[in-house]
Amino acid sequence: MIFNKISCSLPLALHETPLIANTIARMKLYEMNSGISDTAEYGCYLYDQQCRPLLTPSWGKKEKRSARSTSRSATVGTDVIGTKYSAGRDNGVDNRLLNAINEEIRSHPVEEPRVCTTTPHR
């Protein structure tokens, strides 16, 4: 079982834990990847082919045909979506707070690389 050796030697990130746990529990990496890919592809199709034509009239802009694509694209002006949220405000970040949060995340046990010490089942 090469998968056990590979999965145990890779570093884990906290946000990846549910996906990795599901993969290990089911031992179906191919099915997981194809499911994620299918969902992403369907989401792109659904937005481009179904949602955009419904939203375009409310955007109030003319549709344009793209030379590279057969789908129609619409432009959205700031009169519809507004201006930048932080316009006129300080966009500064408190670096001390940011560094403290990043250090806390980096020092979490889940973020430490692990090496599998057990032998794979056959």
Give domain status of residue 103, yes or no: yes
33 inside domain: yes
Question: For residue 106, what pLDDT band results from cuts at 50, 70 and 90?
Answer: confident
pLDDT at 70 over 60: no
What range does the domain containing 113 cover? 1-61+96-117
> Within a domain: residue 56?
yes
Q: Is residue 75, in this structure, part of any structural domain at all? A: no
Residue 29 within a domain: yes
Q: pLDDT (tens digit, 9 = 90+) per residue, 7-39?
A: 444 455 666 777 777 766 666 656 656 666 667
Average pLDDT over all residues of the chain: 66
Residue 15 included in any domain? yes
pLDDT for the residue numbered 119: 63
User: What is the torsional sign of CA 30, 31, 32, 36?
Assistant: positive
* Structural domain total, the chain: 1
- Of 19-33, 68-82, 84-98, the poorest mean pLDDT is in 68-82
Residue 82 within a domain: no
Torsion of CA 44, 47, 52, 54, to 10 degrees: 160
Flag whether 54 is in a domain: yes
| pLDDT value at residue 3 | 42
Q: What is the DSSP string of the chain?
A: -HHHHHHHHSPP-GGGHHHHHHHHHHT-HHHHHHHHHHHHHHHHHIIIIIIHHHHHHHHT--EEE-SS-SSEEE---HHHH-S-TTTTS-----HHHHHHHHHHHHTSGGGS-----SPPP-
